[in-house]
Structure formats: structure tokens, C-alpha cells
Structure 1
Amino acid sequence: MTEPILPRIRPEIAALAPYRQGKQAGPDAFKLSSNENPFAPLPSVLEALQGTTPINRYPDASATRLRERLATRYGVGLAEVHVASGSVAILYQLVQAAASVGDEVIYAWRSFEAYPGLVLVSGATGIQVPLAPDGRHDLDAMADAVTDRTRAIIVCTPNNPTGPIVTSAEFAAFVDRVPADMLIILDEAYAEFVTAADAVDGLGERIFEKHPNVVVLRTFSKAYGLAGLRVGYAIGHAQVLNGARATGIPLSVTSAAEVAAIASLEAEDELLQRVAVIVERRTRLGDGLRAQGWAVPDSQSNFVWLPTGDRTDEIAQVFHAADIVVRPFSGDGMRISVGEHESVDKVLRVAQSVVAPLQ
């Protein structure tokens, strides 16, 4: 049988591997591969979802009610808030708006694994700047990497998948070194889990006002537990966010997502109590791993990083055999989300069984 003639696909897209979601878990396994919130949605959020717009009707294309709540919360104008189907969608939109063929986008590596793909799809070239040995961003090296072709820089704090933060002082010095007309995307998807006093806080410090080239990203997927509904937001200068709005897919935020996000904001005190529980588990997990001899970076997110190097795939299989699904990055390390209470001791037992050969 002859092969069918197919439409031409850009060679770089044909060679690009699709985004890989964390492996799904069986009924008795702990799924610690996707940084999901282990708590079910609050009853008040579920109740709010019962009255959402009928699914035969389109949602509000600009998620106006949610944007109004966020604008009031952060003391900004409505045009300075953008909402999309997850903060990663806004990343795609901003990079598409800022960069194209012949341009460059700088980001740390290893960092969020969607970064290389979204830059390539825009036609731009990704410039990967290695992390410091402790898993932190090397902002001096990132500033040094800026050329006249650079159009955007992505800073992820806390960094996914290693966990450390960028400090306020470090980010301030970095922004001062970068040309004022260059887009800086401050990806703060895990901001609610941060307890370090010196961490940068793009919204609390109102960096977007002092530096209009900075856009701050947040999400409802992690701390708020709405990963399955897909809703994130950006705060920044209206003209910059107009670029994201122009490149976005219309009607991508569902009515259910908007309603759940608003209900979650109204129940924030209760939700942040849950965040505090996750932080306590994170501390217990990180301290326990370090006591075993693991060189675990100081995670300020809802996961920890194990630098397992060349044995990553082998050790990931040991975890999987024990019904713990982790996120391995071959040849580098593995990310383990902070999950259910019972999962912490189980992770520590498995980690203890494989740490000795690494010492």
C-alpha cells in the first residue's frame, strides 16, 4: 500500500516532541508527578459550580467577573489583568506576541519543560542558561546572555522542577541590567507556597508598576486546586497584555473555571490553611531526604527535587514499583510532588532504599 501524501508540517514542529504529562497513577498509587493539590475542592467551590452557565452557552470571552475581582484585589485597572486557560497559555501568548523568526528568548535550564516548545513554536530560538549548582537561577549569566536579538526572558520562581526561589534583591538587580524595552515574564505559578522572607513577590512588590516590561503570572491550578479547570492570570501593563490577548485562542476560559476561581478567592483563608499543611509536609519530606544524604535544594514550592543523575530512570522505576509515580528527567533528576499525608513516609522509605549507592 502506498503511503498517503500528507500536508507539509514545519520541520522543526515535526521534530518537536509533544508536552509529556506526568504518568497517570493506578487506583492504589500516589500520583506525585504533576504538582497537583492533593486536597479536593472546597465544598463552597463545588456548590458554586452547580450554578454555572449552561454548557450550551459560550463563556464570557474576557472572563470579566474574574478580572474585576483580581483588579480589585491587586489595585490595578481591568485592562492590567489578563486571564487564560492556565498560566502556561499566557506564556504561549506572550512569547508569540514578542518573538518570531530570528529572535531569541532566554530562560534558565533546567526549568519548566514547556519553555523550549513554546519558544520553538513562535519561530524564535531558545537560549538556555544553566542553573547554578544549587538549582537556582543564575540571573547574572542570564543578563549576560542578552543580545540585540533577545525579545523576552522567562524567570521561574520558585523554579520548576528544582524548587528554589529568586530573591527580591536578585530580581531587582537583574531588571536594572536588562533593557527597559525587553519583555520579562516572571512565572510565579507556585508563589502561594513560598515562605522565604527574601523571595521576590512580583505582585506584592508591584514590580509591574516600577518596570512596565515585567509581566507577573499566577495560576489557580496549584495552591487553589483547580488544575482540572485550567485558569491562570497575568498582571502587567495594559499594552503588553493586549499582545497576549491578541494571540490568545478566543473563549478558552470556561464559565465553570471562572466561577470556581471566584469562589476560590472568596474562600482563600480556608485554602491557605491547606497550603500551610502542604508546606509542613514539604519541610518534613525535604528534611527527611537530606538526613538520608540526598542533596535536595531548598524547595519553596509544592515539590522536591532529587538529583539522581545517570540513575534517574532506574530509580524512578523503583518508586513506580512501590506505587509512587514521580516525574523523572532522564540523566538529571526527578521531581516529587508533595501529596497526601500517607505518601510522605512512603517516599522516604523508598528513597532510603536507593540512596546508598549514590553516596
Structure 2
Amino acid sequence: MTTVQTIPETVPGTSPVPRPRQLVSTLPVYSKAGGTVPPRWRASSNESFLPPSPPVLAAIDAAARHCQQYPTLQGDPLVAALSRGLGVAEDQVVAGAGSLAVLQQLLTAFAGPGKNVVFAWRSYEAYPILVRLTGARDIQVPLTAAHTHDLPAMASAVTADTAAVILCSPNNPTGTVLAAAALEDILVRIPSHVLVVLDQAYLEFTDDAGASSQHSLALLAAHPNLVLLRTFSKAYGLAGLRAGYLVAGEDIAAAVRAVSPPFGLNKVAEAAAVAALADTKALDATVSTVREGRAALHAAFTACGLHLPDSGGNFLWLPVGDGAASLEAACLAESVSVRSFAGEGVRVTVGSRDAEAAVLRAVEAWLAD
């Protein structure tokens, strides 16, 4: 079940104060970690526990010294750097204040009243919020028993009114990854006039990240309706600055730029993202640390008797059903926050070894109870 904000409805013209549009009352509330006392460790937001590297910090400092100036209109230096690194034309790249903002602009351009957007559920909880903001209807297709996208069911959910299908791989919060063959198969099944948005926020943490990146980029030529969505918030450690981008055909990218606000990527984020993109050693070190911790924590949870899916992200999914709230409380008792989804499970961010140890202690105590 999704939590929905409660905003009283009034008859137009009878309220003494301004009232929002009716759809505002239908929007789910983005969840947050529980607890009233700040925990010692955060394993709830899929952030990097490692600070940016020295070259990135130097770029941040230099840019901040000129923050009285506007940034470039469309994140131009970052777009140019991404174009070179990915081997695509600059006109195919749109940068913005995080991949979430870029997705909102994409849906603004292509969805709207009378349309619908199909995505797996549970998946990233911002999807229904962004879809409904456009006036479109969200079509949530349940995951399989293995916590993966039910691709045949998603393809069957596409109608003449479908504007987009969103695929999240690795999926947040379950961590499951779409195989290359499965991605190719669903791209063939989806009509060419329907957007297929592949959200790759956690791509860098997958075991074959380089091959997966090249494979999805290669698919752009054969499938002009494909859009790749990526971010600097996770593996690059810039969640607090908000930088992300999409890669798509030139016509799609042009439509997104048309609805994007000018100067949407701030000057500091722009400089940090360009520097982070160039610092491949720091990226490799972060990814290696996460993969090592993910494997160790997965093995520890399994040894405790928990059954959880393999993850390609910087997090693990504990499908504990109705025990989600009590497990979250047990983690808070160990001064570590996790993300709980009522009646479904708990997502645990991998990274800090101390935080991982605290979560493991909490799981052991919870199982003992």
C-alpha cells in the first residue's frame, strides 16, 4: 500500500485560502527513515559513505568561489564530457539536477492527462509521484516472486494510451538486474511510439557494469524510443549536489531540453560531476568497496537464515513482509537507520563496515525475538 497525503477538498470559490489542484491529494508520500533520534550510521538512503576524492573537492571549492555567477545554460561542460566518454553526440545528452529532475522533465514532455506510464512495483517510489504530477495515470505491475520485473506482464499492460514504460535496473529497492537478453526482448515487444526509460542509477555497482553500459548504449541506435537515465548521486558520491543526465535520440533529448528550466544544473554540481567523471580511480575504489561489502553482508544474512535476492546495487533487500517495521526498529536500537517498506521489506545500504555490523547485530537480535 502507498501512503497518500491528505489534503481536504473544497468547492471552488468557497475556500478563504488558495487550494492546490485535486491531484495533489492523490500523490504518495516519499518515505523516510524512521526514528526521532538521529542515528549514528545511515544505511537508509543509498548514499556513498565515502567523501568525494581530492580532485573533486578541489573542483567544488573552485566553483564555489564563483557562485555569484550563473552556471552554463544546460550543463554544457558536463554534456561535453559525457559525450566524449560515452561516445554519443552532445545533442543526445541532457543534464540536470539529478536523474530524478531529468525524469520529471522527460515525463512532462511526453506524458500528461489521458496517458499512462507503466512500471514495476515495488520499484523507485518517486515514479508514481512524478507520473501523477503530469496528470497521467501510473500502471504498477507487481514484481515476480523472485523480486524481478515481470516483463511479459509489463508488455501486456501497454495500451494505446501508454506514453512510457520505466524499467529500473538494478531495481530499487530489490537490487535485481535485467539481463541483456531480457532487455532486448522487451524492447522488441514495446511499440516504437512508446518511450522505454531504462533507469540505471546503480549501474556502476553491477558486476559487469562496463559491458552493461556499452550494451545499453548500443541499443539506442536500434531502438529510437529508448532513454537511458543515469546519476552522479550513487557511485560518484555527489548525492548532496544533485547531478544526473539522460541519453536518448536527438529528437527526444530536444523535447526534454524544451521543457527544462534554464540553468537547471548548479555551478558547483556541474564542476563536481565533470571532475568525478574524470577520476576513474576514485570510482573504481568506491565500487570495489561496495561490492566487497555487499557480498559479505549477503553471505551473513543468508547464514542467519534470511532469503534475499542477489543485488546489483549498493544495497540489499530483506523481504521480511510484516516484520519490516520491527526490523527497522531493531536497527534503530543499534543506532543505524534503514529504509522500511511496510508489509514488504527493508532496504539496507552497503558501504560503511561499522554500519553493516550494526545492521547484522540488529538482524540477529530481531530473529532471536
TM class by smaller structure: over 0.9
CA deviation string 1:312-351 (max 9, x = no partner): 1122111111101000011111111013122222211211
Partner SS, residue 36 of structure 1: coil
Change (3 A) 1:105 1:27: closer
288-297 vs 102-111, which deviates more?
Answer: 288-297
Question: What is the deviation of 1:109?
Answer: 0.0
Q: 1:7 aligns with which of 18, 39, 43?
A: 18
Shift of 1:21: 4.1
> What's 2:292 paired with?
280
d(CA) in 2 for partners of 1:87, 1:38: 20
Question: Residue 255 of structure 1 corresponds to which residue in structure 2?
Answer: 267
Residues 42 and 355 of structure 2 are in contact (CA less than 8 Å); yes or no, is this contact kept in structure 1? no
- Amino acid across the alignment from 2:353: H
Change (3 A) 1:22 1:238: farther
Confirm or deny: 8 A CA contact 1:171 1:200 kept in the other structure.
Answer: no
Residue in 2 aligned with 1:208? 220
After TM superposition, the score normalised by the length of structure 1 is 0.94
- Report whether the alignment pairs 1:242 with 2:250: no
1:149 to 161, 164, 187: 161
State the distance in 2 between where 1:152 and 1:341 align.
39
Secondary structure, counterpart of 1:269 in structure 2? helix
Secondary structure in 2 aligned to 1:176?
A: helix
Whether the 8 Å contact between 2:201 and 2:231 is mirrored in structure 1 is yes
Counterpart CA distance in 1 for 2:236 and 2:120 is 26
Structure 1 stretches of 4+ moved >3 Å: 20-28, 196-205
Which whole-Å CA distance do the structure 2 matches of 1:28 and 1:91 have between them?
Answer: 31
Task: Give how far 1:85 is off.
Answer: 0.4
Separation of aligned partners in 2, 1:263 and 1:203? 25
Give the distance between the partners of 1:305 and 1:338, measured in 2 at CA. 11
Question: Mean Cα displacement is larger for which, 138-147 or 203-212?
Answer: 203-212
**Would the alpha carbon gap of residues 194 and 78 (structure 1) be closer, same or farther in structure 2, given more than 3 Å must change?**
same
- CA–CA distance in 2 between the matches of 1:155 and 1:25? 34
* Aligned counterpart in structure 1 of residue 62 of structure 2, from 30, 34, 51: 51
Structure 1 residues 198 and 79 mapped into 2: Cα distance closer, same or farther (>3 Å)? Answer: closer
State how far apart, in whole Å, the 2-side matches of 1:27 and 1:14 are. 30
Residues 1:93 and 2:111 aligned together: no
Within the alignment, does 1:39 sit opposite 2:50 as a pair? Answer: yes
The residue type paired with residue 192 of structure 2 is: A
SS of the counterpart of 1:295? coil
Q: In 1, Cα distance between the equivalents of 2:271 and 2:154?
A: 39
Q: Deviations over 1:121-161 (max 9, x none)?
A: 01000000000111111111100111111110000000000
Aligned residues: 355
After TM superposition, the structure 1 = structure 2 runs for residues 209-228 of structure 1, keeping only pairs within 5 Å, are 209-228=221-240
Q: Distance in 2 between matches of 1:224 and 1:245?
A: 24
- Is the alpha carbon distance of 1:204 and 1:131 closer, same or farther for their aligned partners in structure 2, counting shifts above 3 Å? closer
Measured at CA, do residues 106 and 15 of structure 1 come closer, stay the same or move farther in structure 2, by a change above 3 Å?
closer
SS in 2 for 1:51: helix
Instruction: Kindly indicate whether residue 204 of structure 2 is the aligned counterpart of residue 166 of structure 1.
Output: no
> Whole-Å Cα distance in 1 between the matches of residues 33 and 215 of structure 2?
29
The SS at the match of 1:153 is strand
CA offsets per residue over residues 55-91 of structure 1, 9 Å max, x none?
A: 2211112111110010011111111011000001111
Residues 86 and 233 of structure 1 are in contact (CA less than 8 Å); yes or no, is this contact kept in structure 2?
yes
In structure 1, distance between residues paired with 2:208 and 2:368: 31
Q: Secondary structure at the match of 2:62?
A: coil
SS of 1:69's equivalent in the other structure is helix
- Contact 2:314/2:349 (8 A) holds in 1: yes
Unmatched 5+ residue regions in structure 2?
1-13
User: 1:196 Cα deviation (Å)?
Assistant: 5.0
Matches within 5 A, 1:76-87: 76-87=88-99
Contact between 1:166 and 1:200, CA under 8 Å: does it hold in 2? no
Task: State the distance in 2 between where 1:189 and 1:229 align.
Answer: 15
Does the 8 A contact of 1:37 with 1:223 survive in 2? yes
346-355 vs 189-198, which moves further: 189-198
Alpha-carbon distance in structure 1 between the residues aligned to 2:35 and 2:222: 43
Taking structure 1 as reference, are residues 29 and 103 closer, same or farther at Cα in structure 2, changes over 3 Å only?
same
The residue aligned with 2:115 is: 103
Q: Which of 317, 329, 339 is the matching residue for 1:305?
A: 317
Match runs of 1:286-325 below 5 Å: 286-325=298-337
What is aligned with 1:352? 364
Contact 2:331/2:358 (CA < 8 Å) preserved in 1? no
User: 1:239 & 1:197 partners in 2: Cα distance?
Assistant: 27
Counterpart of 2:283?
A: 271
8 Å CA contact retained: 1:74, 1:203: no
Letter in 2 for 1:230: R
Q: CA RMSD in A?
A: 2.0
CA drift of 1:252 comes to: 1.9
How many angstroms does 1:250 deviate by? 2.2
Q: CA shift at 1:306, angstroms? A: 0.8
Aligned counterparts of 1:21 and 1:313: Cα–Cα separation in 2: 13
Once residues 339 and 290 of structure 1 are traced to their aligned partners in structure 2, the CA distance between those partners, rounded to angstroms, is: 18
Residue identity opposite 1:39 in structure 2: L
Amino acid in structure 2 at the alignment position of 1:185:
V
